[in-house]
Amino acid sequence: MLKRKNSFLATATTLVSSLVVMTSILGAPAFAAEYPNKTIRLLVPYAAGGGTDAIARVVAQGLTDKFGQQMIVENNGTAGGNLATQQASKADPDGYTVLLANQGPMVVNPHLFKNVKIDPLTAFDPVTVIAAAPLVVVVPEASPITSIKQLVDEAVKQPGKLTYGSAGNGSASHLATLLLADTAKLDMVHAPYKGAGPALTDLLGGRLDFMITTIPSVFGFIDSGKVKPLAVTTKERTKRLPNVPTIAESGWADYDASAWYGFAVPKGTPPEIIRTLREATVEVINNPQVVPRLELEGAEPVGNTPEEFAAYMKTESARWSALIKKAGLGLD
């Protein structure tokens, strides 16, 4: 009797184990297929109207169309994007909260701000880099400055006098200008804003001398003549502004900076959801209808793997950490 009971228990245990395995095997694809079945929040750590916001909205609309579920953009530029980044890191890792990750909050702010409460490189699972784009140096329409060389010469003549705006402490626009100051040995006054939009308002009003900003945020003003482009920040000229020289070709050969935009999700998000989100994003950014819109904004699609994105952020973090330490910067 005991032998028959033990035999029954062994058989039952085997059946349960088999069911668990089958559920795991069959459940994963079904789980991935169910995502998404409700609205997705896309947290953008900058104010509306800037380059990061422009890229976010192009891709969010594409994913909304593809998924049949809305991806809603939520802007929050408080504390250089740190607040939105922290909020995203604390969200449920279920794929319904996505961070628009770029160099500011992800690889700069941890070295710049003393009170950053998370390590973005470990608090998130990277999904993919959406796009990368050069920045452009612009001055107000009324400015007498007409070239990047003239701008640098003026900064040299008047140390501590020229003012520049940025999309916030640690933003791409801030770091690109900090890199220029380090490369050309300049002393200038930084005015951080909550996004490129508010900074451009003051630039147009003549309250700032110049700004390095993303092309999406300023191209309309270039077209209308309200600002003058002096140079772009990448090694090569951009298709969007083919007649504008690079900083590198204008006398500072080692200078190179760009803005990049990616998706990241809270740590622990299921791999199948990350895969679904990445595959859909890559499809969207390479869509024949979306590519021209990205190019119009001065950006080119990337769509790399999560592993490549993670490695890139690690490299970028080390690069900007060295510059920030050299400049002796630190914010509370």
pLDDT at residue number 21: 40
- For the chain, the average pLDDT equals 89
Lowest mean pLDDT, pick from 5-19, 174-188, 250-264: 5-19
What span, in angstroms and rounded, lies between the C-alpha atoms of 246 and 229?
A: 11
The b/e string for 258-289 (b: 16+ C-beta within 10 A; e otherwise) is bbbbbbbbbeebbebbbebbbebbbebbebee
Share of the chain above pLDDT 70, in %: 90
pLDDT at residue number 299: 87
List the Cα angle 273/274/277 in 5-degree steps: 85
Q: Higher pLDDT residue, 69 or 220?
A: 69
What is the DSSP secondary-structure string of 34-65? Answer: H--SS-EEEEESS-TTSHHHHHHHHHHHHHHH
Same fold, 35-132+260-327 and 135-250: yes
| pLDDT 10s digits, 106-126 | 999 999 888 888 999 999 999
Q: What is the pTM of this model?
A: 0.76
Q: Say yes or no to pLDDT of 297 above 90.
A: no
Q: What is the DSSP letter of 69?
A: S
What span, in angstroms and rounded, lies between the C-alpha atoms of 180 and 211?
A: 12
Label each residue of 71-106 as H, E or C.
EEEEECCHHHHHHHHHHHHHCCCCCCEEEEEEHHHH
What span, in angstroms and rounded, lies between the C-alpha atoms of 61 and 71?
A: 7
| pLDDT 10s digits, 184-233 | 999 999 999 988 889 999 999 999 999 999 887 898 899 999 999 999 99
pLDDT band for position 12 (cuts 50, 70, 90): very low
| pLDDT 10s digits, 126-167 | 999 999 889 999 999 999 999 999 999 999 999 999 999 998
Output the six-digit token pair for 287: 């869509």
CATH code linked to domain 135-250: 3.40.190.10
pLDDT band for position 33 (cuts 50, 70, 90): low
| Spans of all domains in the chain | 35-132+260-327, 135-250
Give the Cβ contact number of residue 256 at 10 Å: 17
Residue of 227, 223, 247, 222 lying closest to 237 (CA atoms): 247
Terminal C-alpha separation, the chain? 74
The b/e string for 194-230 (b: 16+ C-beta within 10 A; e otherwise) is bbbbbbbebbbeeebbbbbbbbbbbbebbeeebbbbb
Confirm if 195 and 47 have CB atoms less than 8 A apart: yes
Average pLDDT (290-318) is 92
Q: Say yes or no to pLDDT of 271 above 70.
A: yes
What span, in angstroms and rounded, lies between the C-alpha atoms of 9 and 145?
A: 86
Average pLDDT (231-253) is 95
Average pLDDT (29-56) is 83
CATH code linked to domain 35-132+260-327: 3.40.190.150
Confirm if 276 and 35 have CB atoms less than 8 A apart: yes
Average pLDDT (255-284) is 96
